[in-house]
Structure 1
Amino acid sequence: MAVAKGKSRDAAARKRRQKAKEERLSLVLYRRPFITLHYFLLETVTNLKEWMSKLRERRGTVLLFLGVCSVVSITFYTAYYTEGAHQTHVHYLAKRFHWSVYWLILGIMSSCGLGTGVHTFLLYLCPHIINVTLAAYECGSTDFPEPPYPEHVICPQIVGTESITVWSIMSKVRLEACMWGIGTAIGELPPYFMARAARLSGTDPEDEDYEEFEDMLEQDSAQGCVPRAKLWVKDMVQRLGFFGILAFASIPNPLFDLAGMTCGHYMVPFWTFFGATLIGKVCVKMHIQKLFVIMVFSKHIVEQLLSLIGSVPRIGPSLQKPFHQYLEAQKKKLRNEGSTEAVNGNWLQWVFGWVLLVTIFLIVCSIIHSMAQTYAKRLQQQMQLKEKKKKKTKTK
């Protein structure tokens, strides 16, 4: 009897959790716009208050950090503007530092991003690699200005005669790609620390993904492709350890957050998890992605693709024309001959611009939805605490 009552209570609790989750997921802009925006603003204010209270608790550390940053900034500022032989090196280091931090932040946004990954590889890094690849073949050299580049890459006045290879282009974009890869590895740490803290404290964090992860741990088998894939990832990481993490970090893997949660839950050492993730994402995955983009947009491949587009019956020539115009305009821009009007007037450029705007809009909407649903979960937990207190007072 006691076992049956326990099972019925568990089933009722699961139904309540499922109903509460469905209510939270209904908080989207296209269904409930006003309450979604209201909860988003309230969650923003709540987070700001929590951050400010944490900063006040650690004000000694904060003051020390600000003091060190002030001393470093003043020293660097003085060296930057004081005339001397050192100024060239300081300016070079400043440019490289800003350029590296820019790509590092984009990498963190790609794998972390306030509950939703911002696809910064497709939006920023991939177009940058394409631009450098086209410039290298058109200029006949990779000796154009060091990053950060101006508005667009300009070929050197003396046209190079060096043979352009995939490896020379890869070395030209190595800094940007590696910093972006390091950022993606850093962005994978929150799920690891969340699961590790929950295991140490014995309490569940306020995160839906972790709740799903714990439900998955209780299941011996799962139905459907995605649940089975999740169980397989969990088993592989648990069995192979460092090499399992390395394998999953070395390929584009939307389930890698699950690997981080698994490592945190089973108390895998930090440097084992982060070291394997860093090696996989920077040394393997990033080079595969970079090599693929450079090979696809190399000169002979682009020419073959244009000829294939032109060979399509009836619509081929009309499709080929805007691509050809766009590439010609880009070549003139690389040689600083100016063709801004031609590029802006091309419908292909117009389509790319709108795709970028729509992507950014969807990312912003997903962030709003995530934060609104988090605030709704706070309210639900407060209601549950009140109900528990009422039951305790009644029993007394």
Structure 2
Amino acid sequence: MAENGTDCEQRRVGMAKEQNNGSFQDPSFLSDRKSRDREERQSIVLWRKPLITLQYFILEVLITLKDWSIRLWHRRMMVVSVLLLLAVLSVVYYIEGTHQQYVQYVEKKCLWCAYWVGLGILSSVGLGTGLHTFLLYLGPHIASVTIAAYECNSVNFPEPPYPDEIICPDEEGTEGAISLWTIISKVRLEACMWGAGTAIGELPPYFMARAARLSGVETDDEEYAEFEEMLEHAQTAQDFATRAKLAVQNLVQKVGFLGILACASIPNPLFDLAGITCGHFLVPFWTFFGATLIGKAIIKMHIQKLFVIITFSKHIVEQMVSLIGVIPSIGPSLQKPFQEYLEAQRKKLHHKEDSGAPQSENWLSWAFEKLVIIMVFYFILSIINSMAQSYAKRVQQRKLSVEKTK
């Protein structure tokens, strides 16, 4: 009886194991399981599950630090070389001598370039909100330089990095001395650095898709999942958005370098798809990054610079302000703060003391500062949520592997 009971128990366990293995091999079961796991991970956010989210975030940070430490240990010769180089640069930086003027010049240029490259990278990731830093930083910077150039009839105000306020030089130029090219040349460095930063920011989708294709491991990135789904239903796509994405994907895949260059050279909200496409189809790194860098840092940036400079040229601005006054009923009331703001900017450029900044300027600067603070805060929250969800995925994969072995 005992032997029969043991045999029955073994057969029951074997049948359960076969049934379990069969369910794991069923595509519909796996698809449902992945959907449930994805929904469970997406619910792990600070405003829903703060304690679990913080716990998972800390654990993911520890795992990431451990992985980085192991990678650095495997590349210890490179780490030692970098540390020695930093030590030499530190000695050169702190030792007094005639070389300090060159050190300070290089330091200012490097910090200025790093600032705009960082803003470009943040523009690609959108600070977690998708909001473009061109509209917040580079565009207003080019506009202020344009207004100053036309008001001063010169671009001989201080070289970047500028002081808090741009001041007209003591010897102003003659009327009509300013051209589009002189202003373009004045803002070329920061614009190109910002464009290079946006090109660097396009690399994560490329590397993610490339690693997923080479390893065969499914990634949890929503854009990549959308890309694979789009490929599956390429023949039956009907809506405009899907057809536009397919057009970008076909252009990049078939034309190669020139296709990537064309997509990167124009304002293109679908360019993330180009990076995923290049990674998925294993386009060489320098083909993708070279075309992206040329398109974004040179071609696209000159187009954007021209648009901003033309828009904020002296006669265009005056026409825009006059047109605002034509609006029935509310036109004059809207026109007044713009006129006061422009007049205040002209006085600042000519060292003229102002009894007080217009209320509109104070309100605009206050709103801008608060908007930037909110964006940075939300960006930090998105990083915490993303890392917590990454750890949750580790837990789910570990649980799934245990269930498969049972």
TM category (shorter chain) comes to 0.7 to 0.9
Match of residue 174, structure 1, among 178, 183, 188: 188
1:364 aligns with 2:381: no
* Contact residue 127 and residue 379 of structure 2 kept, 8 A: no
Cα distance in 2 between the residues matched to 1:301 and 1:29: 47
Cα distance in 1 between the residues matched to 2:227 and 2:348: 51
Name the residue aligned to 1:10.
Answer: 27
Name the residue aligned to 1:333.
Answer: 348
CA spacing shift, 1:58–1:299, aligned 2, 3 Å: same
Q: What's the offset of the Cα at 1:139?
A: 0.9
1:60 aligns with 2:74: no
Name the residue aligned to 2:164.
Answer: 151
Letter in 2 for 1:312: I
CA spacing shift, 1:381–1:49, aligned 2, 3 Å: closer
Cα distance in 1 between the residues matched to 2:101 and 2:394: 58
Cα distance in 2 between the residues matched to 1:47 and 1:12: 32
Name the residue aligned to 1:249.
Answer: 264
CA spacing shift, 1:317–1:274, aligned 2, 3 Å: same
Match of residue 128, structure 1, among 120, 141, 144: 141
Name the residue aligned to 1:201.
Answer: 215
Letter in 2 for 1:283: I
Q: What's the offset of the Cα at 1:380?
A: 3.8
Cα distance in 2 between the residues matched to 1:104 and 1:369: 21
Max Rg structure: 2
CA spacing shift, 1:251–1:333, aligned 2, 3 Å: same
SS in 2 for 1:342: coil
Cα distance in 1 between the residues matched to 2:227 and 2:387: 18
CA spacing shift, 1:151–1:257, aligned 2, 3 Å: same
1:137 aligns with 2:184: no
* Contact residue 53 and residue 388 of structure 2 kept, 8 A: no
Q: What's the offset of the Cα at 1:219?
A: 2.5
Cα distance in 1 between the residues matched to 2:108 and 2:368: 30
Cα distance in 1 between the residues matched to 2:74 and 2:126: 26
Name the residue aligned to 2:178.
Answer: 164
> Unmatched 5+ residue regions in structure 1?
none
Q: What's the offset of the Cα at 1:45?
A: 4.7
1:210 aligns with 2:224: yes
Match of residue 71, structure 1, among 88, 91, 94: 88
Name the residue aligned to 1:225.
Answer: 240
1:108 aligns with 2:125: no
Count residues with an aligned counterpart: 383
Tell me how large the CA RMSD over aligned residues is. 2.8
User: C-alpha deviations, 1:92-116, integer Å up to 9, x for none?
Assistant: 3332222122212221222246766
* Contact residue 61 and residue 387 of structure 2 kept, 8 A: no
Q: What's the offset of the Cα at 1:180?
A: 1.0
TM-score (norm: length of structure 1): 0.86
1:311 aligns with 2:326: yes
* Contact residue 37 and residue 368 of structure 1 kept, 8 A: no
Letter in 1 for 2:302: H
SS in 1 for 2:166: coil
Match of residue 389, structure 2, among 376, 390, 394: 376
* Contact residue 24 and residue 404 of structure 2 kept, 8 A: no
Name the residue aligned to 1:188.
Answer: 202
> Unmatched 5+ residue regions in structure 2?
1-21
* Contact residue 43 and residue 372 of structure 1 kept, 8 A: no
* Contact residue 195 and residue 262 of structure 1 kept, 8 A: yes
